[in-house]
Structure 1
Amino acid sequence: MAKTKKSENITKKAVNPSSNALYLLEVFLIDGPITEKFAAENPVVSRTIEIKGSNTLADLHKIIFKAFDRQDEHMYEFQVGGSRPQDPNARRYCIKQAFSSSDFTPAPTGDVSSTSIASLGLSIDDAFGYWFDFGDDWWHQINVINIKDLVQSGKYPRITQRVGASPPQYTDFE
């Protein structure tokens, strides 16, 4: 994987990046109900996303949903601060419906609709998890590639690169 070029407007290991910062995230599909044929034809499935620090985790979910061409909404959560996706020690951020569910142990850390990207304390080279559809279990790893102090004008969040095809949201294994 190519490293991004370092420049003076990149925050190296930011402690409190501004809500005006721009995050470059690479989202990899790491597990889910895909066929062997699809996996052979698409050994890497990833999307690169630019998102502002002021955007919320709910905004990040929406752009990932769009980036992977999904049609039906389901429950989801982000896992931040662990050593890998599915780390039981990670902080978990969920939609409000998950807070009322007794199935979630330990309790979620926060609500995706009120948690900004900047508030997560992310740094370049950090990775965190995104779990979509608690029945089909689509697992993603999100890598923080870059954090820029200054955001150029434009609409965010946005998809800047696609690698591999999007798998069908529901696979027919027959």
Structure 2
Amino acid sequence: MVEAPTHIIRAALEPDLYRDIEIPSDRSLYDLAAAIVRAYAFDLDHAFGFFPKLAGHIYDAEPRYELFADMGEGDGSLSVRNTTVAQAFPRVRKAMTFLFDYGDEWRFRVEVLAMGKREPRKRYPRVVASVGKAPPQYPDFGEED
């Protein structure tokens, strides 16, 4: 039996704050989003999207993949539930912006570092590297630094 390939993807909030995640290539972008959010100890409680533009006004970039498309409100966006990681990220070094929470606008730079091979008895998706302390999803604005 041939094991499915995997993608090793870096999800970075800053150059020195990132999580490297290994995920089977046939999993959906929804699964990747959930893995990124979980790797940062956030709750998956907001809409999100993947955009091919890395800076500036990302919303009109195409192709874009948004949860809104799965809710019938996509306005030209493609589905995150029906698009695989391999379809959206076909090669090493392919990068996109993962926008989580359109209000707070958590912007992650998501880039394929390498392709891997799924190993028996390993649970996926899995965090293979963690650098930097994740910020709180909902900072307490009443606290002083």
Give the TM-score range, shorter chain. Answer: 0.7 to 0.9
1:100 aligns with 2:61: no
Task: Please give the root-mean-square deviation of Cα atoms over the aligned residues, in Å.
Answer: 2.1
Poorly superposed stretches of 4+, deviation over 4 Å: none
Higher strand share: 2
TM-aligned CA deviation for residue 87 of structure 1: 6.7
Separation (CA, whole Å) in 2 of partners of 1:165 and 1:114: 32
**Which of residues 41, 51, 57 in structure 1 aligns to 2:23?**
51
Identity, % of aligned positions = 27
Corresponding residue number in structure 2 for 1:139? 107
**d(CA) in 2 for partners of 1:21, 1:90:** 26
Equivalent runs, 1:21-170 vs 2, <5 Å: 21-30=5-14, 44-71=16-43, 73-80=45-52, 82=53, 84-85=54-55, 86=58, 88-95=60-67, 96-97=70-71, 99-100=72-73, 104=75, 107-108=76-77, 110-148=78-116, 150-153=117-120, 154-170=122-138
For these two proteins, the number of residue pairs brought into alignment is 135
The one-letter code matched in structure 2 to 1:20 is: A
Distance 1:130 1:72 in 2: 13
Q: Counterpart of 1:142 in structure 2: which amino acid?
A: V
TM (norm. structure 2) is 0.83
Q: Which moved more, 1:86-95 or 1:122-131?
A: 86-95
- Give the TM-score, by structure 1 length: 0.70
Q: Over residues 115-154 of structure 1, what are the superposed CA-to-partner deviations in whole Å (9 max), with x where a residue is unaligned? A: 1112225211111110000000000001110013x32222
Shift of the alpha carbon at 1:75?
0.5
Q: Secondary structure at the match of 1:169?
A: coil
Q: 1:11: which partner in 2? A: none
